[in-house]
Chain A
Amino acid sequence: MTDTTKTAPWRFRQPSVLPGFGLSLGITLSWLVLIVLIPLSGLVFRASGLGWSDFVALTLDPRTLNALKISFGTAFLAAVINLIFGVILAWVLVRYRFPGKRVIDAMVDLPFALPTAVAGIALTTLYAPNGWIGQVIEPLGLKVAFTPAGIVVALIFVGLPFVVRTVQPIMEEIDKEVEEAAATLGASRFQTISRVLLPGLMPAGLTGFALAFARGVGEYGSVIFIAGNLPYVSEIAPLLIVIRLEEFNYAAATAIAAVMLAISFAMLLFINSIQAWSRRRYVYVA
């Protein structure tokens, strides 16, 4: 996914520069068809077999609607939080030297490596009412485990590396002189960051955001442990699909999946076009 979203517009825009465009495009497309398009079109095909009224009825089922709302809502919230803290974390890693920096840098990737179920269980243990963190926040009236908040926590965890890793290289490229230029023009530190540095990071930040968001929507393993999975409250759409499958209700499972696919695709397309638009304006030209 990273690959297609990142490189496709470039390939189309400047095909003549690199030789082998036709060949590489051919391979890429066949690969995409095989890996992505055939399974997905199978899904669409099944869904279209349902008939329109059935499909609408299945989708508008309140439990389904709630599950979709929870899935997309928590994924969105988690991606926003990841965007903010991911940028800060990347900033710290790029700008400062401190003992243990390498360890922290390596730790950022851990959520990629850890089986998500392990992450889910670990987080649940921590945030459960008798867990380390749960004990502390419970008296303050905060409940995380077994609520939608728990889902957000899990999704923040699994989505953390995306923003950091997309923003970090761009940040490393920022010229110190640009900040100095802003300072000589009278900009305060805050103005320099908000008006000069952050806008420059927007395309990369959006990429990271989109990746974290997409990952959050599809996440299953870590969430089901911490969510509590109460229908209408903390039941995510992927779980509902599994439940429907276990009930041999393939029609409902297909409908939910098709709706998720459509929404995800629309959102990713939207984010990508913002990105392409902003990137076109300020590519690095040396």
Chain B
Amino acid sequence: MDVRVHNIRKEFGRFPALDDVSLDIRSGELIALLGPSGSGKTTLLRLVAGLESPTGGTIFFGDEDASQKTVQQRNIGFVFQHYALFRHMTVLDNVAFGLKVRPGHRRPPAAEIRKRALDLLELVQLSGLDKRYPAQLSGGQRQRVALARAMAVEPNVLLLDEPFGALDAQVRKELRKWLREIHDRTGHTTIFVTHDQEEALELADRVVVMSKGAIEQVGTPDEIYDHPVSPFVYGFIGQSNCLAVTLQNGEIWFEDRPIGLRAPAEPDGPANLHFRPHDIELIDGCGGCLAGLVTASRRVAGTRHLELDLGRTHPPVEIELPPERAAAGDHSRIAFRPTKWKLFRDGERQTEDEKAEQQDVEESGETEAFELARTGT
């Protein structure tokens, strides 16, 4: 079922947890809400579920205004971060609960309820554990019971709040793949919350990046990763570097020299250059490049990460190289140039702030950023 969120606003006391949020979710879509802690993801999810009521705005399920409906009437499946299983019920009873509490005329016969619950347990790969109590399950198993329980009511929308938040990395990865499979098989419209960007990019059809109670960008994982629309998204999704640069006659200057990148349409003045550690090329003999001393070097899986010191006033820049190319040890000088990059310009805040901006992502939503140019040399 389509879910449309229209200009939703939610205040707790005077504090706006969500400020004028609009979002269209298509039927059958798997959507990730991604953002730092406190950005309003859970609040948005709970509003859709009807567990909170909005201060302003409307939520539509299909063509119906859901605001008039109680939680019970919305027919949603909600998976809580800590599962919230009924601990005095067996796994089977947990899954069957939603069907058992239906009023008489809508309740399937007992045998049918049992069969459906068992089928769901098979779907979530928990056959044989139906007589256990939640206390006798592992975290990952509880998670799957919670999901089966939510799906038992054949929800219009499936809502998952950090479904894998409490699990270890290995289990997370498995469940992620598995959730995608389940989604493809059952076709429920699904919204899940996460603050793990890798999870969001890997799993979702579309990702909603949120910051400070507002939506920063909505798009497919590719769009979000390759074409971030704001410094916040650039910084939050994947790794990125941010350098304070100056524009002169369409050329980008770093400190006292041009670095060989051109942005012809841009007016002169200061700007911030963003690029990802892996979007660079090494250059021999520097006639227009960035150059710095290697101060640290780490092996991360298939690549080597180098930290470069570009000069006293600048934060270190991180680049990624294939290990064989990074053979040069510490304290050697490396010259490089970004191959994919983006300029953002913020009205008031000037260059000395850029480090704070990159690390303290909470801050960046405040500044108006203009997208200036995008090239791939």
Which positions in A face B, CB cutoff 8 Å? Answer: 175, 177-178, 180-188, 191, 195-196, 199-200, 202, 278, 281-285
Contacts and interface: CB of A to CB of B under 8 A. Distances in A.
Given A181-B80, A282-B87, 17 more contacts: A177-B80, A177-B84, A181-B149, A182-B101, A183-B51, A183-B71, A184-B74, A185-B101, A186-B101, A187-B72, A187-B98, A200-B87, A281-B88, A281-B133, A282-B134, A284-B87, A284-B135
* B contact residues, range: 20 to 34
Contacts of A200: 86-88
Contacts of A177: 80, 82, 84
Contacts of A185: 77, 97-98, 101, 149-150, 152-153
| Interface of A (DSSP majority class) | helix
A202 B88 contact: yes
Interface in B10-51: 49, 51
B76 interface: yes
B75 interface: yes
A191 B101 contact: yes
Contacts of A187: 72, 97-98, 101
B86 A178 contact: yes
B174 to A, nearest CB: 22
Contacts of A283: 135
A182 B146 CA distance: 12
Nearest to A196: B86
Contacts, number: 78
A195 B72 contact: no
5 contacts: A181-B86, A185-B97, A200-B87, A281-B135, A284-B135
Most buried by B among A187, A199, A284: A187
Contact of A184 (B76, B86, B89): B76
Nearest to B98: A185
B132 to A, nearest CB: 10
Given A177-B82, A183-B71, A285-B135, A188 B101 contact: yes
Contacts of B49: 184
Nearest to B82: A177
Nearest to A180: B51
Contacts of B133: 281-282
Most buried by B among A186, A196, A282, A285: A186
B77 A184 contact: yes
Rank and list the top 10 A-B pairs by shortest CB-CB distance, nearest first: A185-B98, A177-B84, A282-B87, A181-B84, A184-B78, A187-B101, A285-B135, A199-B88, A183-B71, A177-B80
B173 interface: no
Contacts of B374: none
Given A177-B82, A281-B133, A285-B135, A184 B71 contact: yes
Contacts of B89: 199
Contacts of B150: 184-185
Contacts of B97: 182, 185, 187, 195
A58 to B, nearest CB: 45
Contacts of A181: 78, 80, 84-86, 149
B102 interface: yes
Contacts of B84: 175, 177-178, 180-181
Contacts of A202: 88
Contacts of B76: 184
Contacts of A195: 97, 101
